[in-house]
C-alpha cells in the first residue's frame, strides 16, 4: 500500500455541514438522522437550510447542522425540546409526555416527517462547567424568529 492509499476509499461527497453559529436564525429542516461516531457515541444530526439570519458569518441557502451527543446528560432533553418545537409545542409538563421513544423512532425514520418544517433557532455560547470550553446552546422555537 502506498503512502496515500486511504484516499481511495475516502468519500468527499459525504454530508458534513458547518455548524450553526451564534445568532438568531430561521431554518427549514432537511433531515434528522442518527450516527454512531468512531468512538461508538450516538449522535443525533439535525440538518437545516438557513432561510434568514442576523449573523454576518453565515450564508442564507447553506445547509447547517446541529449535533446532539445523545448519551450526554442533556442529549435526550435537547432532542425532546427540538421535537416539541418542530411540532409547534412549547415544553410544558403536559407536552413533555408527548415525546417518547416511538416519537424519536418516527422522527429518525426514512419518512423524515419533520422535513420542510420551518423553525426559529437562537444560538449562543456558554462555557462548560467541567473544562471551561465554549459550547453553543441551540434553542429551537415553533415559530420562525422575525
Q: What is the pLDDT of residue 14?
A: 57
pLDDT digits (tens, 9 = 90+) for 30-48: 999 999 988 899 999 999 9
Asked whether the beta carbons of 105 and 83 are under 8 A apart, the reply is no
6 found inside a domain: no
Number of domains in the chain: 1
CA distances from 40 to 15, 34, 43, 70, 81 (A): 19, 12, 9, 11, 24
Instruction: Write out the residue range of the structural domain in which residue 131 sits.
Output: 17-141
110 found inside a domain: yes
Q: What is the pLDDT of residue 70?
A: 95
100 found inside a domain: yes
In the predicted model, residues of the chain with pLDDT beneath 70 are 1-3, 5-15, 143-146
Q: What is the pLDDT of residue 49?
A: 96
Amino acid at each position: 500500500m502506498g503512502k496515500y492509499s486511504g484516499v481511495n476509499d475516502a468519500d468527499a461527497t459525504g454530508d458534513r455541514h458547518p455548524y450553526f453559529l451564534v445568532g438568531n436564525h430561521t431554518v427549514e429542516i432537511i433531515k434528522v438522522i442518527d450516527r454512531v461516531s468512531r468512538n461508538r457515541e450516538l449522535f443525533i444530526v439535525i440538518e437545516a437550510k438557513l432561510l434568514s439570519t442576523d449573523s454576518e458569518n453565515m450564508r442564507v441557502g447553506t445547509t447547517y447542522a446541529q449535533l446532539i451527543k445523545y448519551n450526554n446528560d442533556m442529549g435526550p432533553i435537547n432532542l425532546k425540546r427540538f421535537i416539541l418545537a418542530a411540532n409547534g409545542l412549547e415544553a410544558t409538563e403536559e407536552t413533555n409526555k408527548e415525546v417518547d421513544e416511538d416519537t424519536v423512532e418516527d422522527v429518525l425514520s426514512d419518512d423524515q416527517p419533520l422535513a420542510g418544517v420551518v423553525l426559529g433557532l437562537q444560538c449562543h455560547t456558554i462555557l462548560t462547567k467541567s473544562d471551561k470550553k465554549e459550547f453553543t446552546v441551540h434553542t429551537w422555537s415553533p415559530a420562525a424568529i422575525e
